[in-house]
Amino acid sequence: MSCEPWQCAEIAATKKANAITKPEVAVAMIKRAARPILVVGSNATERWMEGRQLIDYIIDFAKASKVPVVATAHMVGEFLKRGFEPAGFMSAMDIGNRLVDPTWQGLDGKGHPDLALFVGLPYYMEALILSGLKHFAPDLKTITLDNLYHPHATWSYPNGTLEEWASNLKVMTSKFEGGQ
């Protein structure tokens, strides 16, 4: 699989995501970011890799990387069930809408995020939100941690298998101090 949009017609047109060729690339960008944020959607409990749910990988990653998590839809409950407290939760559109507002000071009120990571939203919804951010949050970088190529992100993994996805998430987690 390659850097084609996962859903065939979800083309971006002129400005397309750079491919994340290996997880280290994403890790470097996350480490470079001053105020990253990770948005986790409802597929977190729908996707299974190697017998674990996506949300479990996310929790590992979030704990290791210390990137604050925003849970969309009803996902906060799923995190809480697993003993992980997200930094915040709100509707996917709401977090998108806050990210395009340059005056928004983040979940902690300390400053606008400079990097937004996305994972586990329905593909087309994530695509649209990433497009909204591409067009209306010019200073924000976006990365999708999905295994599906998202042309509207700044950086995206190419389309990949579940195995590749699991591996990418694990490698990323391992590259942070908390992930050892």
Q: Applying CB under 8 A, which residues contact another protein?
A: 1, 6-15, 41-42, 72-74, 76-78, 80-81, 88-89, 91-94, 96-98, 100-101, 104, 121-125, 128-129, 131-132, 134-136, 138
**Residue 172: contacted member of another protein, its own copies, none (CB under 5 to 8 Å, by partner type):** none
Among 3, 6, 13, 74, binds its own copies (CB under 8 A): 13
User: Which DSSP string do the residues of 3-34 spell out, in sequence order?
Assistant: SS-SSTT----S--PEE--SHHHHHHHHHH-S
Stretch of 4-12, 44-52, 108-116, 129-137 contacting its own copies, by CB under 8 A: 4-12
Measured from the CB of residue 67, what is the shortest distance to another protein in angstroms? 20
**Angle, in degrees to the nearest 10, between helices 123-136 and 92-99:** 10
- Which residues lie closer than 8 Å to 65 by C-beta, 6 or more apart? 30, 36, 172, 173, 176, 178, 179
Minimum Å gap between C-beta 12 and another protein is 6
DSSP 8-state assignment for residue 175: T
Strands 48-49 and 52-53: antiparallel
Q: Does 34 bind its own copies (CB under 8 A)?
A: no
Residues making contact with its own copies (CB under 8 A): 8-9, 11, 13-14
